[in-house]
Amino acid sequence: MFLTYARNVINSRCFSSMLEDVCSAYNFDSNIISAKIRYKAWAIPMGLQLFNMIICLCIAVVTQSLKVTTVITISSTSVYATMIALLLCFKQTYKNINRRLEKINVSQNGLDDSEFTRRMTLQGVYYKKMKSAVHCFNKFFGFSIFLLLGSIIFSALGWLSLVIFSDTPFLVHVTVMPVNVLTSITIIFCYDSVLEEAERSIFISLTLFEKLPWKSPKRKEVSAFMEICKEYAPVFTVLGLFRINRTTMLGLVNIISTYLIVLIQSRKT
């Protein structure tokens, strides 16, 4: 966790750049994210993380290691809550971009070529800014998510070993593991929701593209924007090693089950 904070301090300028890109893409009339999205972004993750923290503190009382567990819990909670909040901001920003595209789709007959070109060009600029913001997010939080996924694997193996090879009470079985699992699942689904919202831009643009006359200037602008969507599609990675999406959970299950089989076989021998 201390290594995570050290990396975050070093990359603080990248974090500021990410916020600036998200703000400008979300609301082109202002550099400040509206209060509505800010409250939405923080309310849900903070509630989940507060629930996680209470469970961790209860476990700490039982195991009589309150001080150490409290520090670790509060530190990790702040990092993961920030990640979830920013991912929700990304999703809302892509959703706002799609709303503008839908408005262009509805009013395209009443727009002249110059105004249509201006709006589609702005949409392309916003999409590029979001790609830059995602890149900064990967750079800033990549090490944190790497540690989280690693802790999930090791804690899952430890928990399964506890269930299989010991007579620990059932209460411990149902309280130890869900803390990290809930956090990781929440973050992974937030990643996936951002990707799904970004993909909608292509489908909306394709609908608009099919409505426009063949070889018209408007059709060319929409085609150019779709190329931008494909080229600057958001990609979430962990230190550049692998991508994060919904299938990441299946990968974790595969890794855990493989090592569990090895663990059981070594136990028998």
- pLDDT digits over 191-248, tens only? 999 999 999 999 999 988 888 888 888 889 989 999 999 999 999 998 888 888 888 8
Range of the structural domain that residue 161 is part of: 2-268
What tokens does 73 get?
């819990």
- Find residue 237's DSSP bridge partners: 243
Given a contact cutoff of 8 angstroms between Cβ atoms, the answer to whether 215 and 187 are in contact is no
User: Domain tally for the chain?
Assistant: 1
Q: Inform me whether the pLDDT recorded for 48 exceeds 70.
A: no
Tens of pLDDT along 146-184?
Answer: 887 887 777 777 777 776 766 655 555 555 556 667 778
What does the mean pLDDT of the chain come to?
Answer: 74
pLDDT digits (tens, 9 = 90+) for 115-125: 888 888 989 98
What pLDDT does 261 receive?
77
Q: What is the pTM of this model?
A: 0.73
**Structure confidence at residue 145 (pLDDT):** 84
Task: Find the angle CA(203)-CA(204)-CA(206) to the nearest 5 degrees.
Answer: 65
Report residue 215 CA to chain centroid gap.
39
Give the mean model confidence (pLDDT) for residues 130-148. 86
For the ranges 28-32, 63-67, 235-239, the maximum mean pLDDT occurs at: 235-239
Round to whole Å and give the CA distance between 267 and 240.
Answer: 35
Helix (H) or strand (E) holding 127: helix 113-165
